[in-house]
Amino acid sequence: MRWILLALGCTAALVFAPAHAQKTDKAIFAAGCFWCTEAAFQDVPGVISAVSGYAGGTVKNPSYGQVSSGRTGHAEAVEVTFDPAKVSYEKLLDIFWVNHDPTVKDRQFCDAGSQYRPAIFYLDDEQKREAEASKAKFEKLKPFKQPLLTEITKAGPFYPAEEYHQDYYKKNSLQYKFYVTGCGRYARLDSLWGDLRKH
């Protein structure tokens, strides 16, 4: 907060001058269940928010029920708002890769269907370039033999999911734990990525 003293003839006035606005960027990732994708990004230093929602489909303002049917073309996704001075898009990509199974299409863990497909939805040409470079990097780093099938595609509209889906892993921690344990999500990620999950 800054105050500037203005001299106006015989009088002076203190005027509030807002500090320079924080610059933010956005990124959109699909890594299966959006509850889990949100959990992977929400507490990363430099991330301002992670919002569960729907991306990559053809229906405007879809509901969870519509997306779950697999007929809208959407994937469950998360829109990450971040401060690029504190965390880079490249770092977010690193987090994305080790938090999903890129060896399968149209499914993640116990969830099957195109709505669970893994994807990077790039917002501009620079994000596309970085996403492709990141995929090439992880193709070399990966400790497994299967190719990386995760799609890199241009983002269309992102639609936030219903409020009860937001911060689900925090608001319903017990149910969330049962879900990820039952699906074997983290056990599979650890077996796939090994030590890369620890960085």
Which one of the listed residues 33, 36, 110, 183 is annotated catalytic?
33
Two tokens, residue 38: 């949100």
CA distance 7 to 157: 49
R_g (Cα) of the chain, nearest Å: 20
Q: Does the annotation mark 33 as catalytic? A: yes
Written as six digits, the tokens of 166 are 């937001």
For the chain, give the number of residues: 199
C-alpha torsion 170→172→178→184, nearest 10? -40
Catalytically active residues are 33
